[in-house]
């Protein structure tokens, strides 16, 4: 079975493994739904939308919150279902997400606190996180473009520049995990470049750029993306994988979600003309490495070697990354490989 067909099998087995009603209203699950929506454009015979609809319906009935970047991300799922059905209840979710992003207090420039006004936000320093490129950047640019929402587009247009200004290293061109706004520095302060965080940049930034109007902001976003793409090449291992901490080779574990995100982002860039063809071989090497690592578990195809949700620890950040446990079938890891499958298929058409 080839790479693409294997990942499609994994996606179908994922829907068997996880009842959508059991999945949380949270960023990882949101990205899984968004990846299914993309795959449905290539696999219309698979009812991904039915699965996404069950997920959103459950949370509308149960109750949900949009109070931080991570709980805004599921608006992607609600927006997908709204486009399919024009249901008012889905539009309500989308409007709450827009209201949040436009009116949430901004902690630096035009950027909200990553953890927002959530209970979790009270336990961590006020900060912006690289994760938000994916968690709110993708939704805001997509919705603004498709609906000619000018205020939301103005917000989306500025975000790549701000993420680069506060989180991208001036020398290495890679991204730090977060920036503590009251203390005025990146965290970690030392050069520790989290693999999945840079994966969010590689996969999320071109999704955002796709929807930006031509002009200065889009050109700057492309430059930021291209610099990071080039910087990542040197950290790919001979086996195709990237590690949990990119610039500590051999000292942390290989990390499947980071590897899939980076491979997907490189292929996306080639497809859209943002990157040249030199990235094709390393991109396919990364995606093939993750696909070859899949194993059967409990009768279903399973994705191993995904690091658990990762918080930039207030003390000893390197050990926080190093000791974060790895497991199978975390939703965001599955989403990352679905993004890679989508780009793999699109690349075969080019």
Please provide the DSSP assignment of 18-58 as one string. S-GGGS-SSHHHHHHHHHHHHHHTT-TTS-HHHHHHHHHHH
Q: What is the pLDDT of residue 155?
A: 98
The residues, ordered by sequence, that sit 6+ positions from 272 with a Cβ below 8 Å of its Cβ are 206, 209, 210
Is 98 a member of any domain?
Answer: no
Place of tokens 């979710």: 93
In the prediction, which pLDDT does 348 show?
81
Would you put residue 337 in left (φ > 0), alpha (ψ -120 to 50) or beta?
alpha
Per-residue pLDDT for 270 more than 90? yes
Q: Which residue has the tokens 């918080």?
A: 311
User: Residue 115 sits in which domain range?
Assistant: 3-17+106-344
Judge whether residue 195 has pLDDT over 90.
Answer: yes
260 Cβ partners below 8 Å, 6+ apart? 199, 286, 287, 290, 333, 336, 337, 339, 340
Chain segment 164-180, per-residue pLDDT in tens? 999 999 999 999 999 99
CB-CB contact of 155 with 132 (8 Å) = no
Q: Is residue 234 part of a domain?
A: yes
pLDDT in tens, 42-81: 999 999 999 999 999 999 999 999 999 999 999 999 999 9
Helix (H, G, I), strand (E, B) or coil at 154: helix
| Mean pLDDT of the residues in the chain | 97
State mean pLDDT over 102-123.
Answer: 95
Provide the number of structural domains found in the chain: 1
Position 331 in a domain: yes
Q: Report pLDDT digits (tens) over 198-233.
A: 999 999 999 999 999 999 999 999 999 999 999 999
pTM: 0.98
Distances (CA, A) of 83 to 30, 53, 105, 143: 16, 11, 29, 11
Residue 80 lies in a domain: no
Do residues 133 and 201 lie in contact, with contact meaning Cβ atoms separated by under 8 Å? yes
Two tokens at 29? 């699950």
pLDDT exceeds cutoff 90 at 126 = yes
| Per-residue confidence (pLDDT) for residue 173, from 0 to 100 | 98
Cβ proximity of 322 and 246 under 8 Å: no
Answer whether the bond into residue 286 is a cis peptide, omega within 30°.
no
231 domain residue, yes or no: yes
Q: What confidence tens digit (pLDDT) does each residue in 310-344 have? A: 988 877 889 999 999 999 999 999 999 999 999 99
Neighbouring residues of 212: CB distance < 8 A, sequence distance ≥ 6: 141, 145, 153, 156, 157, 218, 221
Whether residue 191 lies inside any domain: the answer is yes
In a domain, 91, yes or no: no
Burial classification of residue 6, based on how many CB atoms lie within 10 Å of its CB (0-12 exposed, 13-18 middle, 19 or more buried)? middle
Cβ atoms < 10 Å from Cβ of 19: 12
What is the pLDDT at residue 210?
Answer: 98
Q: What is the pLDDT of residue 349?
A: 64
Paired with 185 in beta bridges are: 180
* pLDDT, position 316: 85
DSSP state of 300: E
Whether residue 238 is predicted with pLDDT greater than 90 in this model: the reply is yes
Residue 228 sits in a domain whose CATH number is 1.50.10.10
The stretch 245-249 carries a mean pLDDT of: 95
| Angstrom distance (rounded) from CA 188 to CA 198 | 14
Q: Is residue 24 part of a domain?
A: no
């Amino acid at each position: 079975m080839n790479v693409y067909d294997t990942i499609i099998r994994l996606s179908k087995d994922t829907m068997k493994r996880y009842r959508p009603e059991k999945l949380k209203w949270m960023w990882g699950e949101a990205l899984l739904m968004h990846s299914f929506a993309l795959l449905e454009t290539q696999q219309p015979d698979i009812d991904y939308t039915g699965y996404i609809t069950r997920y959103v319906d459950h949370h509308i009935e149960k109750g949900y919150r949009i109070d931080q970047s991570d709980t805004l991300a599921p608006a992607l799922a609600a927006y997908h279902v709204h486009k399919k059905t024009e249901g008012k209840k889905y539009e309500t979710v989308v409007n709450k997400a827009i209201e949040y992003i436009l009116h949430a207090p901004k902690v630096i420039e035009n950027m909200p606190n990553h953890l927002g006004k959530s209970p979790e936000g009270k336990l961590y320093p006020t900060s912006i996180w690289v994760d938000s490129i994916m968690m709110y950047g993708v939704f805001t640019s997509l919705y603004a473009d498709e609906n000619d929402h000018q205020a939301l587009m103005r917000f989306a247009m500025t975000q790549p520049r701000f993420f680069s200004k506060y989180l991208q290293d001036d020398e290495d061109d890679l991204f730090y995990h977060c920036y503590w706004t009251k203390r005025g520095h990146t965290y970690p302060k030392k050069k520790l470049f989290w693999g999945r965080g840079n994966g969010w940049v590689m996969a999320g930034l071109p999704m955002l750029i796709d929807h930006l109007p031509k002009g200065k902001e889009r050109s700057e976003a492309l430059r930021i993306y291209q610099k990071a793409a080039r910087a990542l090449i040197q950290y790919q291992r001979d086996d195709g994988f990237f590690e949990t901490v990119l610039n500590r080779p051999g000292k942390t574990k290989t990390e499947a979600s980071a590897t899939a995100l980076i491979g997907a982002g490189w292929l996306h860039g080639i497809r859209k003309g943002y990157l040249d063809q030199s990235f094709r071989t390393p991109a396919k090497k990364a995606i093939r490495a993750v696909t070859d690592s899949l194993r059967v578990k409990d009768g279903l195809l399973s994705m191993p070697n995904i690091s658990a949700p990762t918080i930039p620890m207030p003390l000893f950040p390197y050990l926080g990354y190093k000791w974060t446990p790895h497991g199978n079938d975390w939703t965001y890891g599955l989403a990352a490989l679905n993004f890679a499958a989508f780009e793999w298929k699109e690349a075969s058409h080019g």
